Amino acid sequence: MADPKISIRNLYKIFGKDPRGALVRAKAGMGKQELLEQHRHVLGLRDINIDMAPGEITVIMGLSGSGKSTLIRHLNRLIDPTAGEVIVNGENIMDYSEAQLREMRRKHMSMVFQKFALLPHRTVLENAATPLTVDGRPRSEWEPEATGWLDRVGLEGQGRQYPHQLSGGMQQRVGIARALTSNSDIMLMDEAFSALDPLIRTDMQDLLLELQRELHKTVVFITHDLDEALKLADHLVILKDGAVVQQGEPQHILMNPNDPYIVDFISDINRARVLRARTVMTRGRAVANLSGSVDENATLEEVIATAEGDTTRSFAVMRDGSQIGALAMSDVVKALVPTAASEGGMRQAS
């Protein structure tokens, strides 16, 4: 694996009058509720350790109060930790000066907000060009750049409009175009699609995946929606009460939940629509009388349709024209049965 683009190490955040004193208690094992009731301090984050690979989407999810929005605000130091490190491109940003932080936020990290955060008195084009105008670039430079990104996110011809003239989904597209105009290699997206209607939200998820296949940004995406997380994530981190409950490849977590909290989270998921052939297959197994082939990323729902519901059939699993495994329909049926929390799950993947 390539060196992490972002590494979070032993990160704690405690809110209150004496966070250092409360930190000692938290490190000694005092829980969030006890710390609040006995010492009037809020444990925001507890010993967070995450590596985020370059060019991948890391999704951080959890219920309200789990610490996910607090965590993402540490990545650009809108919030400073009580203890721990945030390492970006090999440098601990806790050591950055104000000037270095401004440079990082302007050039290396962009942010897409839930509430769009567009400037109402500026046109769509001017909003998309904000990172370049802040840099003092002349209109002759920023206009073609911003126009190109507006076109790329599906807003051709909308540059002269004002934000109030656009739908919510279109406004969020402006927010994404603005983030892309900065040409930063890291995008932070805090509940970016949560305010959108379901159909528009699906369109925005598809747009993000399409852009990611082309641009290979390092994306940190916050959500409370498991379906969204499973669709977008290369690496999934699930928080509860400020701590990481489980993290890893989403398919692995779905098949190997390591905590009752995770089991509850995934209990209502349509596993056939989420699990992939590559997750359930037997790698490299030679099976006689194969009924055909399926792509490694085919959902089990697609595999069932291909098998026409016949549980006696088996398929070769293909990647780029070569067989990498075999998938028996009997294994597909077994995979659709929810699993209990595993004792050996990866609680804190390194």
CATH assignment at residue 282: 3.90.1280.20
Assess whether pLDDT exceeds 90 at residue 1. no
* Residue 200, pLDDT score: 87
Q: What would the mean pLDDT of 215-238 be, rounded to a whole number?
A: 94
Residue 41 within any structural domain of the chain? no
In the structure encoding, which two tokens stand for residue 87, read together? 């390492």
Rounded Cα distance between 31 and 173, Å, is 41
Of 145-149, 173-177, 191-195, give the lowest mean pLDDT range: 191-195
CB of 317 closer than 8 Å to CB of 275 = no
Q: How many CB atoms lie within 10 A of CB 247?
A: 25
Residue 301 within any structural domain of the chain? yes
Handedness of CA 309, 311, 267, 227 (dihedral sign): negative
* Residue 344, pLDDT score: 47
Residue with token string 């925001």: 44
Rounded Cα distance between 184 and 187, Å, is 7
Q: How many residues does the chain have?
A: 350
* Residue 350, pLDDT score: 34
Residue 71 within any structural domain of the chain? no
* Residue 284, pLDDT score: 76
* Residue 12, pLDDT score: 97
Question: Structurally, how many domains does the chain consist of?
Answer: 1
Q: How many CB atoms lie within 10 A of CB 125?
A: 20
Mean pLDDT, the chain, integer: 90
Dump pLDDT digits (tens) for 8-55.
999 999 999 999 999 999 999 998 999 999 999 999 999 999 999 999
Rounded Cα distance between 50 and 43, Å, is 18
Rounded Cα distance between 122 and 152, Å, is 20
Residue 284 within any structural domain of the chain? yes
* Residue 115, pLDDT score: 77
| Closest of 177, 182, 124, 125 to residue 149, by C-alpha | 177
Range of the domain at 320: 271-335
Q: What would the mean pLDDT of 183-205 be, rounded to a whole number?
A: 90
- Provide the pLDDT confidence category of residue 287 given band limits of 50, 70 and 90: low
In the structure encoding, which two tokens stand for residue 108, read together? 């290396």
Residue 279 within any structural domain of the chain? yes
* Residue 285, pLDDT score: 63
